[in-house]
Amino acid sequence: MTVTWNDLDVGTEGPALEDGPLTVTDFVRYQGASGDMNPIHHDTAFAQRAGYPGPFAVGMLQAGILGSYVTEWLGPENVRRFRVQFREQAWPGDVLTYTGRVLAKRHEGGERLVDVELACTRQTGGVHLKGWATFVL
């Protein structure tokens, strides 16, 4: 289903996406694809020496999933801006929920723009990522 300008109002929420539980294997797969092999994300002894209880999620993996989540909802061809802010770490075993809601609808430069606030939340209620995006519809 294609979402249109008329389908959305301020406060409209996208369908939630649940993902997980996270595994160290997820982190390693992303690291191999991205070329970022920082051992803090897969080596327990290394992470513990750095003061963490163990490996933790590669934030850019979840940022990518958040981007995919919102473009599935509003269309990859419509994205004009996307940004994220890392809030707290996610750990192996975490189940993450991706959500979005319309913050504003506006006209600018002859385009109808929709601003969306996004979140990636852990099962604890803690926010792993916050995000914001603008789409043209």
- Give the domain CATH number at 20: 3.10.129.10
Pick from 102, 98, 92, 95: which is nearest to 11 by CA?
102
- Residue-range definition of the domain harbouring residue 79: 9-136
Residue 3 lies in a domain: no
Residue 117 has pLDDT above 90, yes or no: yes
Asked if residue 87 belongs to a domain, the reply is yes
Mean pLDDT for all residues in the chain: 95
Confidence band of 22 (pLDDT split at 50, 70, 90): very high
**52-84 tens-digit pLDDT:** 999 999 989 999 999 999 999 999 999 999 999
**If you count them, how many residues does the chain have?**
137
Which amino acid, residue 80?
R
pLDDT at 10 over 80: yes
More confident residue, 35 or 50: 50
**DSSP E strand stretches across 1-137:** 17-19, 79-86, 96-108, 111-122, 127-136
Q: How many domains, the chain?
A: 1
